[in-house]
Amino acid sequence: MSGRSDRAVERAARATLHWTLRYTGGLDPLVAADRQDEILSDLHEQTAWATEAGIGERATARSIRARMLRGIPADLGWRRAQLSGREGIRLSLPRVDGLLLAAVAVIGVVQVGVGAFIAARHVRALLIGDIGFIPNAAALTIALGSVALVATALLGHRRTRPWGAALLAVTGLLIFAQSVNALYYLSATALLVINGVTWLEPAAYAVGTGVAILCLAATAQWANPARRPSAASAASALTGEESR
């Protein structure tokens, strides 16, 4: 086992534990500690099974990260249940899939709308003579909106759904900030707002990052359906897989 591979598994495990500490923060210390102990046990079970099965460390690390991403919606549901005092509420996989699909579809529609809006503003600016060129930010926003349209269409089929979500993660990371930059050239009102609100572009990147994380979680959920290794079928799943 190489040192680099060991570190890959360690980093993946640390990321999972860090996420566990985040979503159990503010809960009853005993409840939070029990959840964290369960995650430690799950990580040990998975890595032990992977070692016995001869699975490479890098593959194990990828699996740990993928299971953490898939578990995010259920983890948040578990936290809500703890805060509301309704322990034992579980999110079924079909319900999680349905919620994810609805959220990612809305994200796709919004991105398409952003691209169409910038395209319309650019055409208007050309017609009234406000601008005589195509700003790079406007061209990129329109292109990203077009890609988002294709990606949203891919969500309609189960086999292509992971690809659609992955594309929306990429376009979502960029399109909101680029649209702000495009409006700098296309709208006098937006120019005044952008000059007055210096944090607008960083905020747009923050929104894009959140969108990308959600879409990547959906990609992991749809591309790698939850499976339990037979040698560890009695062990509970990693973060968020609600057999715990």
Query: How many domains, the chain?
Result: 2
pLDDT in tens, 22-77: 899 888 888 888 898 998 888 888 888 888 888 888 888 888 888 888 888 888 88
Distance CA 107, CA 99 (A): 12
Residue of 187 and 169 predicted with greater confidence:
169
With cut-offs at 50, 70 and 90, classify the pLDDT of residue 244: very low
pTM > 0.85: no
Residue-wise pLDDT for 171-188, tens only, equals 999 988 888 888 776 665
pLDDT tens digit sequence for 148-165: 999 999 999 989 999 999
**Does 161 reside within a domain?**
yes
Regarding whether 110 and 21 lie in a shared domain, the answer is no
In a domain, 239, yes or no: no
Question: Same structural domain for residues 146 and 200?
Answer: yes
**4 compared with 120, residue with greater pLDDT:** 120
- What are the tens digits of pLDDT across the range 80-125? 888 886 544 444 556 667 788 899 999 999 999 999 988 988 888 7
Q: Among candidates 210, 222, 196, 221, which has minimal Cα distance to 110?
A: 210
The residue segments making up the domain with residue 76 are 3-91+225-232
pLDDT value of residue 193:
61
Contacts of 217 (CB under 8 A, 6+ apart): 69, 70, 72, 73, 100
CA distance 74 to 81: 10
| Residue 234: per-residue pLDDT | 32
Are residues 110 and 85 both part of a single domain? Answer: no
Q: What is the pLDDT of residue 202?
A: 83
**Phi, psi at residue 77, to the nearest 5°?**
-65, -40
pLDDT digits (tens, 9 = 90+) for 221-234: 888 654 434 333 33
